[in-house]
Chains A and B, each alone.
Chain A
Amino acid sequence: MSDALEIRNLKVAVDGREILKGVNLIVPKGEIHALMGPNGSGKSTLAQTLLGHPRYEVLEGEALWKGQNILELSPDERAKLGLFLAFQHPIEIPGVILGNFLHIAYQTVKGVEIPIGQFNRILMQKMRMLDIDPSFIGRGLNEGFSGGERKRCEILQMAVLEPEFSVMDETDSGLDIDGVRIVANAVNKLYEQSGGQMGFLIITHYSRILRYIQPLHKVHVMMDGQVVLSSGPELADELEEKGYDWLEEKLKAEGAIA
C-alpha cells in the first residue's frame, strides 16, 4: 500500500449527469498539492465525493487511502481514517454549539474520551494560534456567521481534529487578501506542526492563495471532469497571468484534450 491519496479513473454523476469523467490523481502524504481549474470543471464535485456526500454517485473508479477504497465507506468512517474536508459553503446547524460539537467530533475522530474542561484548553490554544475570538465557542455552528467567519471556523475545525489529509475546497473564495493570508498561514502552520507529515489538496480557482503556501509541491489542473495537467508550483503563476483559456487552447493544440 502506498502512503498517498490515490484517485484512479474516478467517474461521478450528479442527478444523473456525469461530472467527473475519469479523474486520476496522486497526492503523497507529506505533500501540499493544489488543484486548479475553471468554474464547472468538477473540482468541488471531487472534494465532496472524496468525503462521501450522498448526492454524488460514483459510477466507476476508486480512491485509495491507507490501503482502502474510501469510496465504499461512510463519511464518518473516512473522517476516522484521518481525512478532512474544509467546505466551500460551510453548513449552518442552528442551536448546535460549536464547542460542544467539536468536543464530540474530537473524541470520535481520535477515539478517546476527554473531559470538556480539558478539551476546552486545547480548543482555546488552537483559537489563539489562529487568532480566533474565544466567543466562537459558545455560538451556534456557523449560525449567523459571516462568510469570513465560516471559513475561519473550517480552519479551526481542521486545526482541532488534526487530520492526516485535508481537502480544502475553495477555502479562499470570498475572502479578502487578509483572509486569504490567514488561511494560507494556517495551512503552513499545521503542515509544520505535523512535522511535514500532513497531506493537503488545496482546491482553488485563483493562484493568490498559493503564493503564500510553503511548501507547495505540485499544481494540477482540472478541465471538464479530468485532470489534464500536473506540474510544479510555477504553473500557478502562469495560469494567473494567462488564464485558463490559454491553457485550454494550448492543450487542444497539443492534442491532450478534445
Chain B
Amino acid sequence: MAELVLPMQISKEALEFIIERNGEPVWVQELRYKAWDVFEQTPMPTPKDEEWRRTDLKAFRLTEYLPISLPNYDGVSSLDVLPNELQVFLHPGSEEGNVAGLLVHHGSKAVYRWLSDEVERKGVIFTDIATALREHSDLLNGRLHQLVLPSENKFVALHAALMNSGAFVYVPPRVRLELPLHLFFWLDAERSSLFDHLLIVADRESEVIVMAHYASPQGEFSALSSGAVEIFAEPSSQVYFISLQEWGNRVYDFHFVRANIRRDAYMRWVLTAFGGKLWRVNCHSKLVELGASTDMLGMSVGSGIQQFDHHTFQEHVAPQCKSDLLFKVVLMDRASSIYRGLIKVHKNAQGTDAYQANRNLLLSPKAKADSMPLLEIEANEVRCTHGATIGRVDEHQLFYLMSRGIARRQAEKIIVDGFLRPVIDKVPVQWFGEKMQELLDAKMLEEAKRLGYA
C-alpha cells in the first residue's frame, strides 16, 4: 500500500484518505460519498435560515480547519504512558474499578482502549468506530446515520462524510452495566477537526451509562468539532448519556444527538458545556413506542464572548409516553445563549405527558439569553407544559444569605450552585458530577479574578 499523505484541507481527498486508512466496507464508503455531495450542495447556513437566525458564524471559516489529526504515536496499552497533558483529565475516576470501559482518543486516533473482562464476557461490544466498521459491519449497517441524517444540514453532512473518530457500544439483552463506559476526547492539534460518531445500541432490558468527555488546550487554541450521537434504546432498556464539554474558548462545536426510544425504554441525557466559542447542540428524543420515557437535561456555563445555542426536540410519536426537559444556563461577562425547544405530539400520541423548562441566570449586565419554547400538538388528550425564565440573581436571596454572614460573591456562588444542582444531581456517576462542579467552581473563580474580586 502506497504511503498515505495526510490531507490538509476539508476536501474529497480527505474523505478518500479516511476510507483507505480505515479499510471501510463499501456501504460506509457510499454513505460518505453521498454525504459529501450533500455537503457540497448545501450552502453555509446564514442568519436568513430560521434555525440559524441567531447563531453567529461571521468569523467562522471551514477552509481554516484540517480534516484529521493523528498524533505521532500508536495505541498504548497503559494509561501511564499517555502524554501527561492528557492524563490529568483521566484521574480520578477513569481507572479500573470506576468504569466498565475506557476509550481515549487523541485527535482522530483511538490511542487507548480498555474493557473489563467481566463486561466483555457478557458480550458487550465497546470499540472505536473504525474497528467497529470493520468487525461489526452487520450491527452498524442499517443503524449508522439512520437517526442523525446527513441530509438534514451542512454540518451533519460534513460530519458523515469525514467521520474520523468515535465509538460503537452494543449491550446485549438483559445485560446491566453498573459502571459507566467512558469516552475521552483530547484535541490538541491547532486548527484540527473532530468528527466523532457515537453509536449506542442498548438491547432489550439492558442498562448502560455512557459518558463522553471532550477537552482541549485553553487559550489561543482553535479547532472544529462536529459530533453525532445515535442511541437505539430497545424495549425496556435504560440508557444514560452524559456529556461534558470543556473545550478551549476558541473551539467551534456543532453537536447532533438523538435517541430512538422504544416500548417502556428510558433515556436520560445530561449535556453539559463549559467551553467553546460556539457550542451548538441539537438534542432529540424520539418516543416511538408505548410507555417510552425520557429526561433531557442540559447545563451550560458561559463567560467571555462564548455563545451557546441549544435546540431540543421532544417528539411524542406513540401514546402514553413521558418527556421531561430541563436546560439550565448561567452566563457571565458577555456570554450569550439561545434556547429553542419544540414539543411535538403526533396525532396518535394520546396520553402524552411532556414538560419543558429553560432557565437562564445572567450574572452580568452584558450577558444575553433568548428562549423560544414551541408546541405542536396534534393529539387531544395530552398534558404539555413549558416554562422559560431569564433572570438575574435575586436581590432578596442575596440579602438572605448575606444576613447570615456570607459575603456577596460567595452568596452569589451559592445561589448559582443551587441553581445548577438539579442538573448535576441527575448525573448518575458521582465523580463525573464532581468534575462538573469543579469546572463550575474554577470558571466562576476565574471570572471573579477578572473582575478583581478574588
Q: A75-B403, A105-B406 are in contact. Are A140 and B395 (CB under 8 A)?
A: no
Chain B residue nearest in CB terms to A91: B400
Asked whether any CB of chain B lies closer than 8 Å to the CB of A54, the reply is yes
- A-B pairs under 8 A by CB, number: 83
Chain A residue nearest in CB terms to B399: A53
The secondary structure that dominates the A interface is mixed
**Stretch in A29-37, A94-102, A119-127 with 4+ CB within 8 Å of B:** A94-102
Q: Which of B163-189 contact A (CB under 8 A)?
A: none
Taken together as a complex, chains A and B put the C-alpha atoms of A84 and B402 apart, in Å, by 11
Contact B418 A104 (CB under 8 A): no
Chain B interface size, as a band, is 20 to 34
Asked whether any CB of chain A lies closer than 8 Å to the CB of B111, the reply is no
Chain B residues with Cβ under 8 A from A53's Cβ? 399
Taken together as a complex, chains A and B put the C-alpha atoms of A140 and B418 apart, in Å, by 8
Asked whether any CB of chain B lies closer than 8 Å to the CB of A219, the reply is no
Interface size on A, residues (CB 8 A): 30
Contact B405 A109 (CB under 8 A): yes
C-beta contact mask, B370-411 vs A, less than 8 Å → 1, else 0? 000000000000000000000000111101111111111011
Contact A104 B403 (CB under 8 A): no
The secondary structure that dominates the B interface is helix
Chain B residue nearest in CB terms to A109: B405
Q: Kindly name the residue among A54, A74, A91 whose own CB sees the greatest number of chain B CB atoms within 10 A.
A: A91
Taken together as a complex, chains A and B put the C-alpha atoms of A93 and B395 apart, in Å, by 12
Contact B400 A87 (CB under 8 A): yes
Contact B417 A96 (CB under 8 A): yes
Asked whether any CB of chain A lies closer than 8 Å to the CB of B345, the reply is no
Chain B residues with Cβ under 8 A from A8's Cβ? none
Chain A residues with Cβ under 8 A from B404's Cβ? 76, 79, 101, 105, 109, 157, 161
Of the residues A84, A94, A108, A141, contact of B407 by C-beta under 8 Å = A108
Contact B396 A91 (CB under 8 A): yes
Chain B residues with Cβ under 8 A from A79's Cβ? 402-406
Q: Kindly name the residue among B397, B418, B420, B421 whose own CB sees the greatest number of chain A CB atoms within 10 A.
A: B418
Contact A85 B418 (CB under 8 A): no
Asked whether any CB of chain A lies closer than 8 Å to the CB of B414, the reply is yes
Taken together as a complex, chains A and B put the C-alpha atoms of A53 and B403 apart, in Å, by 9
Taken together as a complex, chains A and B put the C-alpha atoms of A84 and B403 apart, in Å, by 7
Asked whether any CB of chain B lies closer than 8 Å to the CB of A28, the reply is no
Of the residues B395, B397, B402, B420, contact of A76 by C-beta under 8 Å = B402
Taken together as a complex, chains A and B put the C-alpha atoms of A97 and B422 apart, in Å, by 12
Asked whether any CB of chain B lies closer than 8 Å to the CB of A90, the reply is yes
Chain A residues with Cβ under 8 A from B406's Cβ? 76, 79, 104-105, 108
Chain A residue nearest in CB terms to B410: A104
Asked whether any CB of chain A lies closer than 8 Å to the CB of B90, the reply is no
Asked whether any CB of chain B lies closer than 8 Å to the CB of A80, the reply is yes
Cβ distance A246 to chain B, nearest Cβ, rounded Å: 35
Asked whether any CB of chain A lies closer than 8 Å to the CB of B415, the reply is yes
Q: Which of A49-82 contact B (CB under 8 A)?
A: 51-55, 74-76, 78-80
Q: Kindly name the residue among A74, A84, A87, A101 whose own CB sees the greatest number of chain B CB atoms within 10 A.
A: A101
Contact A95 B401 (CB under 8 A): no
Chain B residues with Cβ under 8 A from A104's Cβ? 406, 410, 414
Chain A residues with Cβ under 8 A from B355's Cβ? none
Chain B residues with Cβ under 8 A from A87's Cβ? 400, 403
Taken together as a complex, chains A and B put the C-alpha atoms of A193 and B414 apart, in Å, by 31
Contact A54 B405 (CB under 8 A): no
Q: A54-B395, A55-B395, A76-B407 are in contact. Are A93 and B401 (CB under 8 A)?
A: yes
Chain B residues with Cβ under 8 A from A76's Cβ? 402-408, 411
Taken together as a complex, chains A and B put the C-alpha atoms of A211 and B396 apart, in Å, by 32
Asked whether any CB of chain A lies closer than 8 Å to the CB of B419, the reply is yes
Taken together as a complex, chains A and B put the C-alpha atoms of A139 and B396 apart, in Å, by 20
Cβ distance A18 to chain B, nearest Cβ, rounded Å: 21
Q: Kindly name the residue among A97, A104, A109, A140 whose own CB sees the greatest number of chain B CB atoms within 10 A.
A: A104
Q: Kindly name the residue among A80, A90, A93 whose own CB sees the greatest number of chain B CB atoms within 10 A.
A: A93
Chain B residues with Cβ under 8 A from A101's Cβ? 401, 404, 414
Q: A54-B395, A96-B417 are in contact. Are A74 and B402 (CB under 8 A)?
A: yes
Cβ distance A33 to chain B, nearest Cβ, rounded Å: 20
Cβ distance A54 to chain B, nearest Cβ, rounded Å: 6
Contact A95 B403 (CB under 8 A): no
Contact A54 B399 (CB under 8 A): yes
Chain B residues with Cβ under 8 A from A94's Cβ? 418-419, 421-422
Contact B397 A91 (CB under 8 A): yes
Cβ distance A213 to chain B, nearest Cβ, rounded Å: 23
Taken together as a complex, chains A and B put the C-alpha atoms of A87 and B402 apart, in Å, by 13
Chain A residues with Cβ under 8 A from B400's Cβ? 87, 90-91, 93
Taken together as a complex, chains A and B put the C-alpha atoms of A45 and B391 apart, in Å, by 26
Contact A93 B415 (CB under 8 A): yes
C-beta contact mask, B416-431 vs A, less than 8 Å → 1, else 0? 0111111000000000
Cβ distance A92 to chain B, nearest Cβ, rounded Å: 8
Contact B419 A95 (CB under 8 A): yes
Contact A108 B399 (CB under 8 A): no
Q: Kindly name the residue among A84, A96, A109 whose own CB sees the greatest number of chain B CB atoms within 10 A.
A: A96
Contact A75 B397 (CB under 8 A): no
Chain B residues with Cβ under 8 A from A96's Cβ? 414-415, 417-418, 421
Q: A94-B419, A101-B414, A104-B410 are in contact. Are A161 and B405 (CB under 8 A)?
A: yes
Of the A-B pairs whose beta carbons lie under 8 Å apart in the complex, a sample of 10, sorted by A's number, is A52-B402, A52-B403, A54-B395, A74-B407, A93-B401, A93-B418, A95-B419, A96-B417, A101-B404, A157-B404
20 further contact pairs, Cβ within 8 A, besides A75-B403, A96-B421: A51-B399, A52-B399, A53-B399, A54-B395, A75-B402, A76-B408, A79-B403, A87-B403, A90-B400, A91-B394, A94-B418, A94-B419, A95-B420, A95-B421, A101-B401, A101-B414, A105-B404, A105-B405, A105-B406, A108-B407
Query: 6 tightest A-B contacts by CB?
Result: A95-B418, A95-B421, A79-B405, A96-B418, A109-B405, A75-B402
